[in-house]
Amino acid sequence: MKTPLVLTVGQLNAYVKSVLDGDSNLNHVFVCAEISNFTNHYRTGHFYFSLKDETSVIRAVMFRSNAQRLKFLPQDGMRVIVRGQVSLYERDGQYQLYIDDMQPDGLGAFNLAFEQLKERLSKEGLFSPERKRPLPRYPMHIGIVTSPTGAAVRDIINILSRRFPLAQMILQPVQVQGEDAPSQIIEAIQLFNEKKAADVLIVGRGGGSIEELWAFNDEGVARAVASSEIPVISAVGHETDYTICDFAADLRAPTPSAAAELCVPDWHAELERVEMLRRSAGQLMRRRLEAEQQRLDTLILRAKFQEPTRLFENGRQALSTLEQRLRKAAAERLLQENNRLAPLTGKLDALSPLKVLSRGYAIAYHEDRPIRSISEVSAGDTVQLKWSDGSARCEVLETLADKKCYE
């Protein structure tokens, strides 16, 4: 009897793994299933999840090198078709599917990625109408971000030159498809903003497949367009083509040619409009002058202009009223002053020399000056004596001093 082979767990798992890895049918399998328990390991970039159908479940892993090539982000409940190989994770003894590629079941990867990014940025408010900036009516510097060799740039330049030759066009050449296109578009938009080199930007390209237009569905491009301080017109593809750039821009043009027409006014139409405004202003001025002349004629015909004496009568009446008020105020003020001066007048009258003279006294003058002392006159001088009712001239015969005055 053959001795049975005794294996360790590790040996068993390694053997099973080698069997699975050696089966060519399991090295390149396609599986259609629904994603569940999806985990995006942000530190490593690996995807861990399960694939299930109505009866079974299998664990799956998609390493970073493969995951970063996806155009969309897997989610729980999403039906996908995956390609990979079946192998065993020796440590846990679980077999699982190692995925190289993944595509949505039914909806294409590009379309799914487009819808996912559109929904996420819309929830952020990046497409909100309140963020849209108005375009300048007469842009004098127009920035163009597109390929320098495509038909789009020729159409834009031709239309801008014809419609508004005053504007200066500044072309920032970029790739509009391929891996380097998004970064070049972002740098061009940022450069225009840093240098404040344009009044408005046209960002776009001609038509193509969804893969060829994909640079304008890049999240970085959308954020650069939305954050631009310079208003942006998105002009990508044909009228039926929509990109994330269209939603982030301040204005979406169906084609590059339409973008040029929306960017500037028609110079000839503007000249006609100015001429029409000039004529309208002249007509309005004439009507205004006629109306004012009619109003003036009406005023002249009024009664107060027909009888100008009424104006003077009204003024005379107002002047008479003011005169009466002034006389009354002056009389009242004079009465107040008389009442205030009456006591003072009595006091002055009591002290007046004339009042003393009326009681029988006289004042002696020598050489027109009052004599205050007997020493001011001598015998032989002529003096004048003044009473209240008259005066007399007298001669001094002798001076007699009052002895009490010298004691």
Q: What is 259-287 written as a DSSP string?
A: HHHHHS--HHHHHHHHHHHHHHHHHHHHH
Give the residue from 87, 74, 77, 70 showing the smallest Cα distance to 29: 87
Max mean pLDDT among 246-250, 280-284, 306-310, 383-387 falls in 246-250
**Predicted confidence (pLDDT) per residue in 228-279, tens digit:** 999 999 999 888 889 999 999 999 999 999 999 999 999 888 788 888 888 8
Residue identified by tokens 């890895």 is 21
Asked whether residue 373 carries a pLDDT value surpassing 80, the answer given is yes
Residue 406 has what pLDDT? 38
- How far apart CA 288 and CA 285 sit, in angstroms, is 5
**Predicted confidence (pLDDT) per residue in 63-122, tens digit:** 999 999 888 889 888 888 899 999 999 898 899 999 999 988 866 677 778 888 999 999
Q: Which amino acid, residue 277?
A: L
Q: Work out whether the CA dihedral 367, 373, 379, 384 comes out positive or negative.
A: positive
**Predicted confidence (pLDDT) per residue in 3-33, tens digit:** 778 889 988 889 898 988 888 889 889 998 8
Residue 353 has what pLDDT? 63
The residue-averaged pLDDT of 158-169 equals: 93
Q: Residue 305's pLDDT band (boundaries 50, 70, 90)?
A: low
Please name the residues in contact with 89: beta carbons below 8 A apart, sequence gap of 6 or more: 95, 96
In CATH terms, the fold of domain 9-106 is OB fold (Dihydrolipoamide Acetyltransferase, E2P) (2.40.50)
* Long-range Cβ contact pairs of 382-390 (< 8 A, separation 24 or more): 386/357, 386/362, 387/357, 387/361, 387/362, 388/354, 388/357, 388/358
- Is 241 in contact with 217 (CB distance < 8 Å)? no
- How far apart CA 50 and CA 96 sit, in angstroms, is 9
Q: What is 100-165 written as a DSSP string?
A: EEEEESSS-HHHHHHHHHHHHHHHHTTT-GGGPPPPPSS-SEEEEEE-SSSHHHHHHHHHHHHH-T
Residue 357 has what pLDDT? 67
Write out the H or E segment, with its range, that includes residue 251: strand 251-252
Other C-beta atoms within 10 Å of 15: how many?
12
CA distances to 164, 290, 322, 331, 333 from 327, rounded to whole Å, are 80, 51, 9, 6, 10
Residue 364 has what pLDDT? 85
- How far apart CA 367 and CA 381 sit, in angstroms, is 10
- How far apart CA 244 and CA 234 sit, in angstroms, is 10
The residue-averaged pLDDT of 145-170 equals: 93
Just give the CATH number of 115-128+138-265. 3.40.50.261
Q: How far is CA 236 from the centre of its chain?
A: 31
- How far apart CA 36 and CA 74 sit, in angstroms, is 10
- pTM check: above 0.85: no
Q: Residue 370's pLDDT band (boundaries 50, 70, 90)?
A: confident
Instruction: Give the pairing of strands 251-252 and 200-205.
Output: unpaired
Q: What is 198-232 written as a DSSP string?
A: -SEEEEEE----TTTTGGGG-HHHHHHHHH-SS-E
Residue 308 has what pLDDT? 60
Write out the H or E segment, with its range, that includes residue 309: helix 309-351
What are the tokens at 8? 């360790």
- Dihedral Cα 327, 332, 337, 338, nearest 10 deg: 100
The residue-averaged pLDDT of 187-196 equals: 96
What are the tokens at 368? 């027109």
Residue 326 has what pLDDT? 78
